Structure 1
């Protein structure tokens, strides 16, 4: 199982119709917790309906209502826990998959869970081998979206290129393509959260047993509903090291939190509202940060002061509405990389 955190498990809000673009489905109400007041959409500030229907971002920013081992170096084993390579640095501990006889293949995976047919997509980095453990990035689409939002090459959501030599990517699919179904009664949402948490636990357990993963560096990212559910994972699952989210609101009850992730949060100037501000401030406070901050790269970003050593929190404002911004993918990659690059 997991080395650093026991399994109890970087993706976007509404039950929209078809996913129009790679930008991912958009989020939801804009209110924290289970409230569902409308938020500003990416159509340059036009208000969404007050019935909490989500929006889905298009490529131009418009939205539509409703996303160990066996390798050796210089004669020394380099993959087992505590061993060192020829650099003299201790390698991160690898998951059971580093010595497994079978491996999870790249591409689409399907299985039955809780009476539902579930699927997700695996993308392996260039040069993947079991000679070293790899970071794992979970990338969650928005409500009304699908895994294609992140499983793309080119454009602002091209995480495959960003992490092509760095990390394993897993792109899950939500039940009915919505991490929170605003067309369903609100009293059904908590049960849906539990089903999805079991789904992520199953995915992560499968991945760590069949791929060589650095269990200290498992991340979740997402836009809109996928960002909101990344917050659920960061709050309720100890195996998440950090989250990176755009346009998210709170889906969980704060008293349910068992873990504190590092957090990178972006909100568009045209979608900024109390719900998204509450999401940002919750994770900032959870990490022990002060409300004060200092400028951080890229432009428009700040790093909050006095956060926990392992739980930095960065906030980035962008000039758009409810879309994954052009700075998002590179900034997410840099944020996650800060945890594993020195290992």
Structure 2
């Protein structure tokens, strides 16, 4: 049984229209939606030197802990397809393309976890799949890769992260559809996203925290002057694994706003201790249901090489 909490957030983090996909790295050709590698070796952190965040060490006020067990989905016991599926779903009268991946080992009588993966600004559903979480999933997860709608003036695919946008309806519809067609453990819904997709991931952690168990935002670009999380009450609570490159200056403020908001919302102290893999730190004192980690790497605006394994290991801990 998973233990969750409902709280109203008077936010310490805000989202805005800062650039969310730019990259100065030469490692990837798509400068709008950089993605994956930092060519550094992976090793476990061993130095138990604590890091203490500067500034307010307080927490976000939270309501009473709510015991919940959402059980398994309606799709359990039904025959369903496997492998990669290129699909569309109609939301608000619009056909929305997405990819869905079901492992070949799928058994309709065994509930799997569900992960929604969100591309960055100008990205595609195929680009999101290149984040390479599937090889680290061990056949225990179904993956959904939605695609944002083209937005002016560049006509590039961009998530609309403001509360109540049609992309929230898309998220809800995709989860509901997959729970209807496949056997899902409804207590193990996860979201990961990069750049603008990380901004949307961070917002979903607030507005859909009553159904999402944990999020993994990579380099969320946010702006303290617009779109605060307190435009509406946050629901539930989510565990958080977040990453940022040391050279990703454009997204530093936004990523730290997300980090600090969820650290406080999850009842953590301002102290972090090293954890695996090298570059990651775990906040201390968090409520046990919502571990919160902050991971850095030497690169720019991209997922670090250790991200796929680290994110899936983080998700694996939730039973």
TM-score normalised per structure 1? 0.69
CA contact (8 A) 1:126 1:164 kept: no
Q: Per-residue CA shift, 1:33-80, capped at 9, x if unaligned? A: 2253x68954269xxxxxxxx83316677xxxxxxxxxxxxxxxxxxx
Q: Does 1:33 align with 2:15?
A: yes
Contiguous gaps of at least 5 residues in structure 2: 5-12, 39-68
What secondary structure sits across from 1:150 in the alignment? Answer: helix
Partner in structure 2 of residue 103 of structure 1: 80
1:221 to 161, 179, 192: 192
5 Å matches for 1:308-319? 308-319=287-298
Check conservation: 1:40, 1:271, Cα contact below 8 A. no
Matched, 1:330 2:302: no
Aligned mates of 2:285, 2:104 — CA distance in 1: 37
The structural deviation recorded for 1:128 is 0.2
Whether 1:56 aligns to 2:33 is yes
Displacement of 1:111 = 2.5
- In structure 2, the CA distance between the partners of 1:42 and 1:329, relative to structure 1 (3 Å rule), is same
CA gap 1:198/1:270 in 2 versus in 1, 3 angstroms: same
Whether contact under 8 Å (1:40, 1:321) holds in the other structure is: no
Structure 1 unaligned residues grouped into runs of 5+: 6-30, 46-53, 62-90
Alpha-carbon deviations, 1:99-157, whole Å to 9, x = none?
34x636650111322121101111112310112110001111111000112334xxxx2
- Provide TM-score, normalisation by structure 2: 0.74
Distance between the aligned counterparts of 1:291 and 1:254, measured in 2?
Answer: 21
Distance (Å, rounded) in 2 between the aligned partners of 1:227 and 1:182: 22
Q: Does the Cα contact within 8 Å between 2:17 and 2:222 map onto a contact in 1?
A: no
Pair 1:212-2:187 in alignment: no
Tell whether the 8 Å contact from 1:247 to 1:266 is kept in structure 2 after alignment: yes
Q: Which has the larger radius of gyration?
A: 1
Larger relative contact order, structure 1 or 2 (CA cutoff 8 Å, min sep 6): 2
Mapped to 2, the partners of 1:148 and 1:112 lie a distance apart of 19
